[in-house]
Structure 1
Amino acid sequence: MSKVILITGASRGIGRSAALLAGARGWSVGVNYASNAAAADETVAAVRVAGGKAIAIQGDICDEAAVIAMFDATQEAFGPLDGFVNNAGIVAPGSALADMDIARLKRIFDTNVLGAYLCAREAARRLSTKRGGKGGSIVNLSSAAARLGAPNEYVDYAGSKGAIDTLTLGLSKELGPQGVRVNAVRPGLIDTDIHASGGKPDRAAVLGVQTPLGRPGTADEVGESIVWLLSDASSYVTGAIIDVAGGR
């Protein structure tokens, strides 16, 4: 059965992999991106080649009007939503909390918490059978950092992802009776360019060998978990937080 899915931060990394895997199932995908239009257009083309439909939608998840507009654009292009992937997030260069300035903290929490909550709220409004939706699935992207703490690196990022775990638990209980499943995927050391934005492009490769599986993960391995949670194959799964972290 074909589905209509919106994915934030879908122009690269895990979001892109999830979009391509959705396309391979013949699904229609709203590819949200913040600023890299060329990468988003490439993702759209790749989704189409894989067998799905896609459009690129620019929008800052911290902007309420932009969040509403990206949901509108997806539904106008493809019809009522079946699922949402709350993927967009940022990290800053490694630092002890004592050395972080207020601008950094605001940027991390505005995007990773407020932005994610805004997106989850809008998805709840669109999907809830109580509000005229047809039900569906919300997948939040957390991080293994939420349970590890990321000391001396990203305790701000780790805390923001702890909020995503809590959002997942609470929202799953709110929306279960309204036909909507809410789950989270908690990636570990995944080989994507988010590490470069944190100032350590080789971080996943260096630390990945220390996991029980002895390597970093790939974006596609996380994407498979996301698409499974979006699919009817996971129909009795809600309120779950799935670690995709190689045993770390």
Structure 2
Amino acid sequence: MPAPLTVVTGGSRGIGAATVAALARAGHDVVVGYRADADAAARVVADAESAGVRAVAARADVAEPDDVDRLFDTELGTPTGLVANAGLTAHLGDLADTPVDVVRTVLDVNLLGAVLCCRRAAQVMSTDRGGAGGAIVCVSSSAATLGSAHEYVHYAAAKAGVDALVVGLAKELAASGVRVNGVAPGLVRTGIHAGAGDAGRLDRVTARVPMGRPGEPDEIAPAVVWLLGPDAGYVSGTVLRVAGGL
């Protein structure tokens, strides 16, 4: 039986890179989607290959349909899994002070990108379209239910849209051999905070977390791998919160 082949967007760093590594250890071949850092993506690919699986990097802007198509048109075969992980916050502050171009970018990457990737996954995986079935995991955020006032409500709104996507698409694809779930991390030690211009944010807001510490990418990845695997075969339409009690 061939190994599962899983596309991971935003796979060159943070939760995406940790997920690629965990998938490789679980025997998945992987497509590492990345937007800009080819060197980081190459390192993630090399690490995956060292686990004995096939891996390839694919540069893609998930908000561009042609780029999304290239993620799924890989020499490794037809994907049976998708981790829609690519995301960014880009700015911290009140919505009234957030530039429109930043709002648009955040919505495009976090919500439109997830929708387009899930759309393509449905096309290639659905058994009623000639696919072999599969599983989708969208990486959401605890912000989807907390709202993130005075920080990034536009990002929270996009992630709430991702949660709705999971619920609706799970029902739409249930009879087509494709399960759809989400993982909602809380505060996690990744570069997303520095990318928004506030590298110290994580330590400043850790007191909000009931467990008293931020999470690590390696603590999020196992939830993604489980939802993609056979042990979660009766799980669909669920958003699993991995947020230290937040």
Match of 1:152 in 2: 150
Amino acid at match of 1:46: D
Q: Percent identity?
A: 44
Measured after TM superposition, the shift of residue 181 of structure 1 is: 0.4
Match of 1:183 in 2: 181
Aligned length: 245
Conservation of the 8 A alpha-carbon contact between 2:187 and 2:243: yes
**Alignment match of 1:85 (pick from 75, 83, 87):** 83
Listed one character per residue, the Cα deviations across residues 81-120 of structure 1 (whole Å, up to 9, x for unaligned) are 2210000011122110111221111111111111111111
Match of 2:12 in 1: 11
Q: In structure 2, how many angstroms separate the alpha carbons of the residues matched to 1:110 and 1:210?
A: 28
Conservation of the 8 A alpha-carbon contact between 1:59 and 1:70: yes
Measured after TM superposition, the shift of residue 209 of structure 1 is: 4.0
SS of residue matched to 2:73: helix
Measured after TM superposition, the shift of residue 80 of structure 1 is: 2.5
- For structure 1, which segment, 225-234 or 45-54, has the greater mean C-alpha deviation from structure 2 after superposition? 45-54
Q: In structure 1, how many angstroms separate the alpha carbons of the residues matched to 2:224 and 2:11?
A: 13
Measured after TM superposition, the shift of residue 193 of structure 1 is: 0.5
Conservation of the 8 A alpha-carbon contact between 1:191 and 1:205: no
Match of 2:109 in 1: 111
Q: Which structure 1 segments of 5+ residues have no match?
A: none
Match of 1:95 in 2: 93
Match of 1:59 in 2: 60
Q: In structure 2, how many angstroms separate the alpha carbons of the residues matched to 1:140 and 1:84?
A: 8
Measured after TM superposition, the shift of residue 217 of structure 1 is: 0.4
SS of residue matched to 1:66: helix
Match of 1:30 in 2: 31
Q: In structure 1, how many angstroms separate the alpha carbons of the residues matched to 2:59 and 2:96?
A: 35
CA RMSD of aligned residues (A): 1.1
- For structure 1, which segment, 9-18 or 89-98, has the greater mean C-alpha deviation from structure 2 after superposition? 89-98
Q: In structure 2, how many angstroms separate the alpha carbons of the residues matched to 1:61 and 1:210?
A: 32
TM-score scaled by structure 1? 0.96
Amino acid at match of 1:32: G
Listed one character per residue, the Cα deviations across residues 23-73 of structure 1 (whole Å, up to 9, x for unaligned) are 112210000100100000000011112232210101111111111011002
Match of 2:231 in 1: 233
Does 1:171 pair with 2:172? Answer: no
TM-score scaled by structure 2? 0.97
**Alignment match of 1:211 (pick from 209, 212, 221):** 209
Conservation of the 8 A alpha-carbon contact between 1:22 and 1:52: no
